[in-house]
Amino acid sequence: MEFRIRPLTVNHCARLLEFYTTLSPDVTALFQPFGPHVTEDTIRRHLAETDADKHISLGLRAEDGPIAGHGFILFTETDRPVFGIGLREGVHGRGLGRRLMQAVLDEGDARGLLMITLTVLRVNTKARSLYEKMGFVVKGQATFRDANDSWYMERSRADGEMAGWRRQVPNRSLAG
């Protein structure tokens, strides 16, 4: 099955809401960018702000299938935009997360973002390893549910250049 990465707009509200409301408990234990109870209004607001260039929001899906992954950068107009990514359980371990993450970061680079931040739970060691491979550096601790249960990470162009980070998969035709 071939997956494609495409920009999400307000027209994708129902599909993105379905993605969030059907994620498994194992996934939502680690990934809740819109809180534990996602509503249509929350998703519609996110996508409207994406349409207004305040966020980057890309979806991963097979042709005519449900959204299998969502990658985004929130608050692109600030000095510390926030990256996030989530995948359905059935698509883990196939390189799709890396591909989606790269596409989101490429879009952030194209928009001239100098720094991108994220937080990751300490127990999510696989995600932390991927983030480090993609140029993120641990800068401190953060709180998700319990005090200091997460890492705060940043990716800046200076950090990435110093670490030898380069775009791994050129992908300029997201709407294909």
pLDDT tens readout for residues 85-127: 999 988 988 999 999 999 999 999 999 999 999 999 999 999 9
Q: Is residue 144 part of a domain?
A: yes
Q: Is residue 56 part of a domain?
A: yes
3-state secondary structure 105-163: HHHHHHCCCCEEEEEEECCCHHHHHHHHHCCCEEEEEECCCCCCCEEEEEEEHHHHHHC
Q: Is residue 171 part of a domain?
A: no
CATH code of the domain containing 22? 3.40.630.30
Task: Note if the pTM is more than 0.95.
Answer: no
- Domains contained in the chain, number: 1
Q: Is residue 73 part of a domain?
A: yes
Q: Is residue 64 part of a domain?
A: yes
Residue percentage of the chain with pLDDT more than 70: 89
Q: Is residue 176 part of a domain?
A: no
Res. 1 pLDDT band, cuts 50 70 90? confident
| Structural domain that includes position 62 | 3-162
State the average pLDDT for the chain.
Answer: 89
Q: Is residue 172 part of a domain?
A: no
Q: Is residue 67 part of a domain?
A: yes
Q: Supply the pLDDT for residue 67.
A: 97
